[in-house]
Amino acid sequence: AYHGHLLNLVELSSYMYKKMMNQQKMPEHIHVVPTPDVYRGKFRDIHYNNDEVKLCQLYFDEVRRIVEEAESRGRHIAIFLFEPLQSCGGQIIYPKGYLRKTFDYLQSKGILCLADEVQAGFGRC
């Protein structure tokens, strides 16, 4: 996701960080979940017969895995920063239910969920 060009915001934009920082490893305090892109992402609709429920679960499981891994190392994730409509990443529409399922889980863990809509403008889509 794109969150701006200040260095601390570039760290939160994994694709920009890799490009601008010459593929350096992400800082330890940044945890990146895979973009729930059913067209070009880790889990694709063509491999799961367009089963949106299954795809939602697979991408959600990645969120849960990353949170649990961080907690197992004694770390607490403070915030989930995301784009509700990922525009710089390719106009990605998330599987139905993904954000609700993710929010419910993260909020149960005390993790703040923050929508950052820089490009499209929240509510103008």
The pLDDT of residue 96: 94
Does 107 map to a domain?
yes
Evaluate if residue 115 carries a pLDDT over 90: no
Does 27 map to a domain?
no
Structural domain range at position 109: 33-115
Evaluate if residue 116 carries a pLDDT over 90: no
For the segment 22-28, the average pLDDT, to the nearest whole number, is 68
Evaluate if residue 63 carries a pLDDT over 70: yes
Does 58 map to a domain?
yes
Number of domains in the chain: 1
Evaluate if residue 22 carries a pLDDT over 80: no
For the chain, the C-alpha Rg in angstroms (whole number) is 15
pTM equals 0.79
Does 25 map to a domain?
no
Does 16 map to a domain?
no
Q: Which residues in the chain belong to E strands, given as ranges?
A: 79-82, 112-115
The pLDDT of residue 16: 55
Does 22 map to a domain?
no
Does 10 map to a domain?
no
Evaluate if residue 110 carries a pLDDT over 70: yes
Q: Which of 17-31, 46-60, 78-92 has the lowest mean pLDDT?
A: 17-31
